Amino acid sequence: MAANPMKIRASNKDGVTEVKVLISHEMETGQRKDASGAIVPAWFITELTAKHNDRLVLGAEFGTAVSKNPYLAFRFKGGAKGDKIVVSWKDSKGETRTDEAAIA
Amino acid sequence: MNNQRRNVLKSGSGAALLTVLAAAGIIKPGMALAEWNKAAFDAKSMADTLKAMGVGSPVDSKDVQVTGPDIAENGAVVPVGVSSTLPNVTMVAILIEKNPNALAATFTLPEGTEANVQTRVKMGQTSNVYALVKSDGKFFMATKEIKVTLGGCGG
């Protein structure tokens, strides 16, 4: 289900690291109906964290209004080439996923 | 300028405590993910959402920017960004007034993270999109209307 890894791109320029994350997730709102008219239950990412070398650089809470396959971009000061960026999320079913990437 | 500083000082004690508590909760080891604010995300209207988030009355600020298209052809994927030049921004939230639940996302920004986040949201219909920013313990807001040609919530 939550099998597809996140795509994480991090690049450092002039001392600022820009991180872009693309997550593979359905983000069901719980308001959509399937072909038979039954409501598709809500299933979405609720929480997300991004860490740079074990230091939190972004915390996020999502509602159902975040698009399917969520995209996220943010910038923080610091970070050097080769440093690790670790992104984790948890969804409303309690599933979690963690992926990491090195700063380019 | 100076007036603003006075206000910050006045509201300082309570707000500072909140900030400390929030920071403690987030940085606490072993707690990887922050507590999801169910009440805020379940709230329907803008007012209820703000109440659930503990936001009094945010001040409109020119130092907060909402970026996004003027017209979104596909309401299921609307790129929205929030940026601010205010100092010490610790929290950023995106609210969509006419969605079934106004609150789309909140971001916690630890020190060193810039007040500049982009994401993509769903919009059921043409609506005002609000960016809420917490700077020095005070709340500021900015608005942008995004017109939606095809809603993103029905399917």
B64-77 residue pLDDT tens: 999 999 999 899 99
Q: What is the pLDDT of residue B44?
A: 92
CATH number of the CATH domain containing A33 = 2.60.40.10
Residue A11, domain member (yes or no): yes
Query: Distance, in angstroms, between B138 CA and closest chain A CA?
Result: 19
Contacts of A31 in chain B (CB under 8 A): 100, 153-154
Q: What is the pLDDT of residue B3?
A: 61
In this prediction, residue B26 carries a pLDDT of 41
Cα separation, A73 vs B112, whole angstroms: 15
ipTM field: 0.92
pLDDT tens per residue, range B74-115 = 999 999 999 999 999 999 999 999 999 999 999 999 999 999
CB pairs under 8 A between A and B: 123
pLDDT tens-digit readout, B106-154: 999 999 999 999 999 999 999 999 999 999 989 999 999 999 987 665 5
Using CB atoms within 10 Å of the CB of residue B6, give its burial: 0 to 12 exposed, 13 to 18 middle, 19+ buried: exposed
Higher pLDDT: A90 or B36? It is A90
Task: Tell me the residues of chain B between 24 and 43 that have a Cβ less than 8 Å away from chain A.
Answer: 26-27, 32-34, 36-37, 41
Question: Is the Cβ–Cβ distance between A11 and A18 less than 8 Å?
Answer: yes
- The verdict on residue A19 lying in a domain is yes
CATH code for position B112: 2.60.40.2470
Write down the pLDDT at residue A3. Answer: 61
What range does the domain containing A86 cover?
7-102
A53-70 tens-digit pLDDT: 999 999 999 999 999 999
- Does any domain span residue A56? yes
Contacts with B122 from chain A: Cβ below 8 Å: 27, 29, 64-68
Domains in chain B, number: 1
Test the A interface: residue of B107, B111, B146 with most A CBs within 10 Å: B107
pLDDT attached to residue B108: 95
Nearest CA in chain B to A58: B109
- Give a yes or no: residue A21 inside a domain: yes
Structure-token pair, residue A10? 């991090």
Q: Which residue has the tokens 């500049």?
A: B116
Of B26, B37, B99, the CB nearest to A65: B99
> pLDDT tens digits, residue range B2-48?
665 555 445 544 444 444 444 444 433 333 445 789 999 999 999 99
Q: Say whether B40 sits in a helix, a strand or coil.
A: helix
* Overall number of domains in chain A: 1
Q: What DSSP letter does each residue of B57-115 carry, written as one string?
A: -PEE-TTEEEE--SEES-TTSEEEEEEE--SSEEEEEEEETTSSSSEEEEEE--TTEEE
State whether A60 and B37 contact (CB < 8 Å).
no
Residue of B44, B145, B58 whose CA lies nearest to B93: B58
Please judge whether B108 and A58 are an interchain contact, meaning their C-beta atoms are less than 8 angstroms apart.
yes
* Nearest CA-CA distance, residue A16 and chain B, Å: 9
Q: Which of residues 50-109 of B touch A (CB under 8 A)?
A: 76-79, 81, 96, 99-101, 103-109
